[in-house]
Structure 1
Amino acid sequence: MSHATFLNRQALFLRPDPTRVVVRPFKPATEPRDLNPTDKTRANHIVDRLLSLDHETTESLLADVLENFEGRHRNLLATFENRASDMEEAFTPHVEFTKVQRQLVGAYFLHEYSFEASALFNPSIVVHPDQSGVLQGSRRFILSLRAVGEGHVSSLTFRTGLIAADGSVEIEPTARLASTPTVHTRISDPLDEPVELSFSAQQHISERVIFPITPAQSNGIEDARFVTFEDNGQTMFYATYTAYSGTGIRSELLETSDFISFRMIPLGGSAARNKGMALFPRKIVGRYAMIGRQDNENLYLIYSDDLYSWEGGELILQPKFPWEFVQMGNCGSPIELDEGWLLLTHGVGAVRKYAIGAALLDKQDPSKVLARSSEPLVRPEPSEREGYVPNVVYTCGAMRHNDQIVLPYAVCDTFSNFSTIKIADLLRTLDG
């Protein structure tokens, strides 16, 4: 069966929007190495200049800043004051600041960042925890996306949408504003402890942006693979992702029950040193299970009694067909079907062309591969070959809805789209 026969591509394009901005701390350029501890820093100089202004000028300048930026962000004055609190080391000793002066100082040590100016890609999808008001046969979902802005820094952003009974997909309008969370953990360097963060429940989920927080994440939170995890009647949402510091990577885990409060936890063990880990949606024979790629080429099945530590692994899939000769990887968490575990994969072929395939794993023993794609399910169409990285289609996770698989996928590391696939048709293509 031709992939064009069973793949229903939706004309639903999620493209990067450079008008969506958050405020981030601004830090003056690094001081000279030979700076005497008694010398003033650039930050001190900025504060001194602000303190030299008279009261009327200070108030006028702050009012001008608010007029320019208040409609672009929530609670700007509180944001300015919080930033001023972070800048205590730049304050001239024994100087009393007025409230207006503190707010203006905070404004001078912030900048706007257009977090999805360059790309909005590598999506994953889970059922929304709130299904109130949804018609029978439909499902509300949460979509996570990797957003990339200036300097190729990756952050995590969200959308919500609805899958109708017939498989058609709608995305809800995106909030006009965007904001980063409150971090409840003191950040040290290096940091190997969990980080707790939260948003306001009043914020629309598309307003919530998880920007790199720790030194290990400083250049990006990449490719979150979300899964709904069920254990003893309890539901949690987990996402494995890659933390990138600019020089090194490590696998980390994001966990939440409501998409308001989150914990970020580094993963330990030899199996967590590579990219692309994906958690099964439930325990297998009483143990946690992951699909991972430990050697940049093949896929492994990994078990653990500890959700945060992963060792070893068993090779289960390696390149077999020309479209995956360069390397394989997973495309999100396995999806449980009556027939077995459906594992979406990606393969890299000639001229580093990426395509999406699938494999069916035994439900009781996922190390047994029952069938796999000899041809890709999704490959770049002629209209989908151009972008930031040409010739790439990629996903970080699909979900089952009735008799279909709903597959969000990225195009050329630039924008995202959706397809739906009938499960019966998909399984008939697995023969390799």
Structure 2
Amino acid sequence: MPQPPFFNRQALHLRPDPSRVVVRPFRPAIEPRDYNPVDKTRADHIVDRVLALDEDEVAALLRATLHNFDDRHHNLPETFEQRAKEMEATFSDHASFSPAQRQLIGAYFLHEYSFEAAALFNPSIVPHPCQTGVKPGCVRVVLSLRAVGEGHISSLTFRSGTVAADGALDIDPPARLSRLPAVTARVGDRIDVSFTPDSSLSERVIFPITEAQANGIEDARFVAFQEKGETTYYATYTAYSGNSIRSELLETTDFVSFRLIPLKGAAASNKGMALFPRKIGGRYAMIARHDNESLHLIYSDDLHEWSLGTPILKPRYPWEFIQIGNCGSPIELDEGWLLFTHGVGPVRHYSIGAVLLDKTYPARVIGRSQVPLVQPEKSEREGYVPNVVYSCGAMRFGDLIVLPYAISDTFSTFATMQATVLVDLLKKGLEE
């Protein structure tokens, strides 16, 4: 199955960098009840040991800790103090603390986490909300990526870049330091988080916050949603608790402040949901997969509640016999809705194809690729999960389609293709 001649792979790879770290809460396990006659927890023991140090020892240890880690994180004293504040329930059984003791104790209940040590993959791409200063004929973009570190915990990270008129991509180097957002509100299952406005996009990491997300925020499919002349960026993603999954929705207008909320309805218990970039017939529309092998079209009057939909695409060709899924939100073209898909074939071999859906009635398939557009190259099949190519969202730029995709669940790369040529190929594929 040769690669189509119009498919232009970029000589650009985004690889995981283990030096990029954040600090996360360290929560010592509670000791067995027969360990201590007063049933003190490990946290109590750690606090007692710090309080046993004299003032000079506390000051010296705090200075040494800051010296050792300060060049790896933003404003560590404030981070230590914030962690101490979160530990108030534990501290209530102890004496009062000096500011230095509080910061030092806060440090004992944190640990560094290399959030992309294992993989940086499953990207999606949308136009940047700010195009100020961009050269004529170019577009600034936001790239979202799934980062995986120790324990296969997934988080959401970002890059910025520019696409030139000829399709050449330039991705900005990531910031040296990274940061987590502050939680600004919790209303039921809804969580609002925010980064400082002066932080760069590539510094921002959205790490699992709730129990439902404990083991991962996975495969965010971003889309620039248009309604009443306004653009809101939505991302459907999979929240993984370690035992169960559910689909959730992220919302932002500026990539500084974000709202995360679980989706409701029968469809939300599955993964791989992708929102259309505008309403169709006055209703929200979503591509989803309910049966583990086929794609369905769902309509809803409520952005946050989705029932089951209508099957529109089932496995047909050998490279997708096991299952098919979407590779991000549909892209609106004059000819119809372009939807990239992934297919799974023999030996769990993932490939990327595409279909064209009718613009007014997207349940009607009007074009389909008979062979993959991209599949794992023999030289790139090794990685965290071998034999996989996967994307969470492409973008139209003029007559170009910009497709970021991941290789072997390890690193990400890019390709461009002519939209008109692709449409012709898809229509021809359905006719044959």
TM-score bracket, normalised by the shorter chain, equals: over 0.9
Instruction: Name the structure 1 match of 2:238.
Output: 242
Q: Alignment identity in percent?
A: 66
Q: Deviations over 1:87-109 (max 9, x none)?
A: 11222536111000000000000
2:94 and 2:150 map into 1 onto residues whose CA distance is 38
AA aligned to 1:209 is V
1:340 and 1:370 map into 2 onto residues whose CA distance is 8
Instruction: Name the structure 1 match of 2:401.
Output: 405
Checking the alignment, whether the CA contact within 8 Å between 1:181 and 1:209 is kept in structure 2 is yes
Instruction: Name the structure 2 match of 1:202.
Output: 198
Map residues 182-331 of structure 1 onto 2, 5 A cutoff.
182-186=182-186, 193-331=189-327
Deviation, structure 1 residue 341: 0.2
1:37 and 1:263 map into 2 onto residues whose CA distance is 45
Query: Which residue, 380, 383, 387 being the options, matches 2:383?
Result: 387
Q: Deviations over 1:173-199 (max 9, x none)?
A: 100000110012359xxxx52100000
Checking the alignment, whether the CA contact within 8 Å between 1:48 and 1:92 is kept in structure 2 is no
AA aligned to 1:118 is A
Instruction: Name the structure 2 match of 1:28.
Output: 28
1:416 and 1:51 map into 2 onto residues whose CA distance is 48
Map residues 94-243 of structure 1 onto 2, 5 A cutoff.
95-186=95-186, 193-243=189-239
2:34 and 2:227 map into 1 onto residues whose CA distance is 56
Deviation, structure 1 residue 37: 10
Q: Deviations over 1:67-103 (max 9, x none)?
A: 0000000010000000001111222536111000000
2:255 and 2:337 map into 1 onto residues whose CA distance is 26
SS at match of 1:294: coil
TM-score, normalization by structure 1: 0.97
Checking the alignment, whether the CA contact within 8 Å between 2:30 and 2:41 is kept in structure 1 is no
- Residues 2 and 152 (structure 1), Cα distance of their counterparts in 2 relative to 1, 3 Å cut: closer
1:312 and 1:343 map into 2 onto residues whose CA distance is 19
Instruction: Name the structure 2 match of 1:340.
Output: 336
AA aligned to 2:26 is F
> Stretches of 4+ moved more than 4 A in 1?
33-38
Deviation, structure 1 residue 39: 2.5
1:357 and 1:36 map into 2 onto residues whose CA distance is 61
SS at match of 2:340: strand
TM-score, normalization by structure 2: 0.97
Q: Deviations over 1:249-297 (max 9, x none)?
A: 0000000000000000100000111110000000000000000001110
1:142 and 1:61 map into 2 onto residues whose CA distance is 41
Checking the alignment, whether the CA contact within 8 Å between 1:356 and 1:393 is kept in structure 2 is yes
Map residues 22-61 of structure 1 onto 2, 5 A cutoff.
22-32=22-32, 39-61=39-61
Unaligned stretches of 5+ residues in structure 1: none
SS at match of 1:221: strand
2:19 and 2:308 map into 1 onto residues whose CA distance is 45
Question: Is 91-100 or 369-378 further displaced after alignment?
Answer: 91-100
Query: Which residue, 363, 370, 378 being the options, matches 1:367?
Result: 363
- Residues 106 and 425 (structure 1), Cα distance of their counterparts in 2 relative to 1, 3 Å cut: same
1:312 and 1:171 map into 2 onto residues whose CA distance is 38
Q: Deviations over 1:301-356 (max 9, x none)?
A: 00000000001200000000000000000000000000000000000001110000
2:77 counterpart of 1:77:
yes
2:234 and 2:255 map into 1 onto residues whose CA distance is 10
SS at match of 2:12: strand
- Residues 193 and 37 (structure 1), Cα distance of their counterparts in 2 relative to 1, 3 Å cut: farther
1:288 and 1:110 map into 2 onto residues whose CA distance is 42
Checking the alignment, whether the CA contact within 8 Å between 1:300 and 1:316 is kept in structure 2 is yes
SS at match of 1:11: coil
Checking the alignment, whether the CA contact within 8 Å between 2:238 and 2:272 is kept in structure 1 is yes
- Number of residues of Structure 1 aligned to a counterpart in Structure 2: 428
Instruction: Name the structure 1 match of 2:6.
Output: 6
SS at match of 2:50: helix
Q: Deviations over 1:28-87 (max 9, x none)?
A: 124336789952111011000000000000000000000000000001000000000111
2:6 and 2:388 map into 1 onto residues whose CA distance is 20
AA aligned to 1:12 is L
Query: Which residue, 398, 415, 421 being the options, matches 2:417?
Result: 421
AA aligned to 1:205 is L
SS at match of 1:83: helix
Checking the alignment, whether the CA contact within 8 Å between 1:357 and 1:378 is kept in structure 2 is yes
